[in-house]
Amino acid sequence: MWLNDTIGFIPKNSWAIDPFGYSPTMAYLLRRMGFENMLIQRTHYELKKELAWNKNLEYIWRQSWDADETTDIFVHMMPFYSYDIPHTCGPEPAVCCQFDFARVHGFFYGRCPWEYHPIEIDQENVKERALTLLDQYRKKSTLYRTNTLLVPLGDDFRYVSIDEAEVQFRNYQMIFDYINSNPSLNAEAKFGTLDDYFQTLKDEADRINYSLPREIGSGQVVGFPSLSGDFFTYADREQDYWSGYYVSRPFFKAVDRVLEQTLHASEMLMAFLFGYCQRIQCEKLPAGYAYKLTAARRNLALFQHHDGVTGTAENHVVLDYGTRMHTSLQDLQIFMSKAIEVLLGLRQEKSDQNPAQFDPVQVRSKYDALPVHRAISAREGTVQSVVLFNPLEQAREEVVMLVVNRPEVTILDSNWTCVESQVSPELQHDKNKIFTGRHRVHWKASVPAMGLQTYYIANGFVGCEKAKPAKLKLFSNLSSIQCPTPYDCSEVEGDVVEIENQHQTLTFGVKHGLLQKVIQKNGLQNTVAEEISLYSSTGGAYLFVPHGEAVPISQSGGHLVISEGPLMQEVYSYPKTAWENTPISHSTRIYNGGNTIQEFLIEKEYHVELLGNSFIDKELIVRYKTDIDNKRIFYTDLNGFQMSRRETYHKIPLQGNYYPMPSLAFMQGSNGHRFSVHSRQSLGAASCKQGWLEIMLDRRLAKDDGRGLGQGVVDNRVMNVVFHILIESNISSTSNPVSDPQPLNPSLLSHCVGAHLNHPLHTFIAKKPQDINVQTHWGPFSPLTTPLPCDLHIVSFKVPRPAKYSQQQVGDPRFVLMLHRRNWDPSYCRKARSECTSVADEPVNLFNMFKGLAVLNARPTSLNLLHEDMEMLGYTEQIGEVSQEGRVIIPPMEIQTYKLELRAHQ
């Protein structure tokens, strides 16, 4: 959009030479943005060899679910080790380096490591030099099908001066002139852009059909094979697998996700502010924050760089990324706290200068600190308002938690009706002081889809029961734990301890404080032996290079605190380890509440402090050893968008069997039992043995691994990792993971769990408590006429140009709605065991989606909002009928975008 606005240009070729492995999600997104071609480089060297052997380095990338060839995009894969000049003219770096004329004296680049250096081209040597270079071109061309050859000429940090560009141009032009003036050489060489290359290639492919016998191709470009799948895990040589970066700097991988979900929520609120604007003179507030929203988008986008979210940047760059994200998070939270006032009708002012009446419940003191819960003071005779925003497209029933300074509180809903609640002590990672002295209050909240709901925390409200204190059981060999008031405490008896809700019972070993098994109330029993272990390794930010097996670190006799209440049961374990400062403590929670999806999951929270010299060259994992016969086959997600089948192979080392896990990994047995782990942030996962799933939590490495960073990774931060674990059994027959190469899909319940984890409720508390006798009533804000179907997700609802909102012509719609239809496995419970009432087989009508907002205009568009030709984007024909009837049917897996014009009903 920026390019189009600024110079009137819309790109159609993607160039991405430096990500460490590639996901087909990128191919899908680019295709639906109107891109035609992709160029990629970093894929496994053995795979390059295999593709080159069959002349398949240029291919059509097709999505695994796509039977109709609607997702096809043409891809050029570079053939050699690197994208620099020694590795791009042909197969011999020592020869190619001689044609990097910026390495002659006078520039700051190093000389050629092969000791044959470039020399200026003149009339005397041009013939010999041209034939030498042409020989490399000829050899390279044998790896591809066509007579059109791409030879990139550049590297990182090149062309910093006109002189450098000039020396390359001058020397190459002489070589090209020689080649072009000698017809006997059968070659023509010239400078060109990437677009020139793809255009020339396609013109040739139109004239000559390069298809091989029995090859499945594509109508997109004839003469090339179509391939599906992804390119993880990358290795550039020997056994150097780049699976370390899946976990490097995990603290910032988590912040990335928090900024993403906060931006998603903020854009939604801003769209509602603009949409309802005619009724509540409010344009100044969203317009005043427009530039901060744009900055937040850019800071989030910047961190998606292949040295940003990957954790492979230098320390001072990490600081810059972190500071940018932190600033944007704070800006967005201030905007949200003001926006909810307007949408609840509490603020009539025209300006955004007034301070907000609400604070976000979580505060971060600095860019690399964990967020801390603001404690509600709850003094006698006062009441404090709490506003919850639900960014999801379905209404939400969920047990929520706030921290209070005093335990004697009562929860009231927006009608001042009593709500059942429980209070339990707040815990911390400190073996000498496990209880902080503050308290956590839990209650079941109900929040409308994309809406707001208010609750009140009162102290001294007559006629309501106070929050029920949890019953505590304590065990410790480290030091005595004092029972905090006002709780009943008892000592743990026996070797095992259990917590249960109406669906499942969890069993833990007391000595190590680790989960042992899960018994479902329908009779299923699953061994889930939890283990926390360390690898010793010598990798770096990019590479995982383990030495031997991971060694368990929990010793017998740490602290154990079991809290049991009506809404939440928890086992908190501070394990005894060989170190004075143990690197990890963890909580396991299950919830009650009725009609919540939380009842079906197990919440694991790991508090990780991999700090200090004791943990140099150590990598921390959690491993779940289950009795699922998965045959070492498991599934991980790609970009939170699709699943990929993974198989563990003995012939490649452990590090090559590790895969990225942005948000989900699961194993499935032959009986249909499925063990899923949903993650709140990106990490790496493996299944080393049958029934095992291990996930790496953090890594601390002293040395550089020679891939360009020039330092180790020892700037670890204290962090919390949260998993939602789901154990499901199917209700009808399934495909066999062993024989079926296709990826399996998550169940509908699994999708719901993932959505709740990745789009949590946003909680705001009033800055000032009120007197309990002054009852203010704020109704809910509920913008949808009905919740959307359970498998339809709003990827974004936003005003893409908030700063230009007023100046835009009425003919051009100012709002954007992006919808994604999730693909789910129907052999598991169709209702997602929840309030799921509908799925998106029926059309959704955009025209009457919002209460109080008329949709005047709805036009389908590309994902980058720049193309209106749906056929060119690969969509099937039905998408075009929206503008007349507003009816939308989206096939599973598709993402579709609509430009809307909204007007508030007067």
**Active-site residue list:** 18
Closest CA to 399 of 761, 754, 749: 761
Which alpha helices (DSSP H) does 478-558 contain, by range? none
**DSSP conformation letters of 892-906:** TT-EEEEEEEEEE--
Assess contact for 746 and 643: CB atoms under 8 A: yes
Render 205-241 in DSSP notation, one character per residue: HHHS--PPTT----SSSTTS-EE-S---S-BSSTT-B
The alpha carbon of residue 236 and the mean position of all alpha carbons in its chain are separated, in whole angstroms, by 25
Which of 716, 513, 687 has the alpha carbon at shortest distance from 618? 716
What token pair was written down for 87?
């590795």
Cβ–Cβ < 8 Å for 446, 526? no
CA 864 to chain centre: 19
The sheet with strand 792-798 has its strands ordered as: 792-798, 815-821, 895-904, 853-861
Tokens of 427: 């815990």
- Radius of gyration of the CA atoms of the chain, in A: 30
Whether the Cβ atoms of residue 623 and residue 554 lie closer than 8 Å to each other: no
Taking the C-alpha atoms of 867, 872, 873 and 875 in order, what is their torsion angle to the nearest 10 degrees?
A: 120
Task: Provide the sign of the torsion angle of the four alpha carbons 517, 521, 525, 528, taken in this order.
Answer: negative
- Could you give the CA distance from residue 758 to residue 763 in angstroms, rounded to a whole number? 15
Contacts 24+ apart (CB under 8 A), 845-848: 845/885, 845/886, 845/887, 845/888, 846/817, 846/882, 846/886, 846/887, 846/888, 846/898, 846/900, 847/885, 847/886, 848/785, 848/886
Cα 756 from Cα 761, distance rounded (Å): 8
Closest CA to 713 of 618, 622, 621: 618
DSSP secondary structure, 687-721, as one string: --STTEEEEEEEEEB-S--SSS--S-B-----EEE
Non-local CB neighbours of 650 within 8 Å, separated by 6+ positions: none
Are the C-beta atoms of residues 154 and 85 closer than 8 Å to each other? yes
- The residue among 248, 258, 534 whose CA lies nearest residue 370 is 258
CA distance 602 to 569: 10
**Facing residues of 546 across strands?**
537
CA distance 147 to 186: 11
Three-class DSSP category at 118: coil
- Helix 250-275 to helix 290-303 angle (10° resolution) is 150
Separation CA 32–CA 143 (nearest Å): 30
- Alpha carbon distance 690, 669 (integer Å): 10
Instruction: Please list the helix, strand and coil fractions of the chain in percent, rounded to the nearest 5, in that order.
Output: 20, 30, 50
625 - beta bridge partners?
Answer: 529, 692
Q: How far apart (Å, rounded) are the C-alpha atoms in residues 836 and 153?
A: 55
